[in-house]
Amino acid sequence: MNILRNSLAVVAASALLGLTAACSGSQTAVCEEATKAFTDYSSKAAGAAGDIKGLNAATGDLAAQLKELSGKADGDLKVALAGMADSWASFKIDLSDPAAATKLTEFGQKATQATQQLASACS
């Protein structure tokens, strides 16, 4: 459980670093809101130690925030935020699933790709 939770926190932190470095241009406010969403998620994920339902709820909340932000954005930023929202929305931890670790790796790759798109769109 701790490995999954810590891995999610690492993915979120990577996204946050990419956003922090990239926020500029005409849609700075949306980029800043996305950065705040990831900061809040990181805190919630850390606070959900041992609470799978809480972690899944925090992940769902982040997905909803990113989807809402995509509605405020245009062009590449809109596409990147929508992709991230879809990635985070599709991830639910189920410890009874023997493929959970594999799914985490796939999720990490999707989130990293979406974060790179977002960083590019925000620059």
CA dist 74 → 21, 69, 106, 111, 122 (Å): 20, 10, 27, 20, 11
Distant-in-sequence, close-in-space partners of 114: CB < 8 Å, separation ≥ 6: 15, 80, 83, 84, 87
Q: How many CB atoms lie within 10 A of CB 64?
A: 14
Q: pTM of the full predicted structure? A: 0.73
pLDDT in tens, 22-48: 455 667 888 889 888 888 887 887 787
**Residue-range definition of the domain harbouring residue 6:** 2-122
Overall number of domains in the chain:
1
Residue with tokens 């990147």: 80
- Segment 90-109 shows an average pLDDT of 76
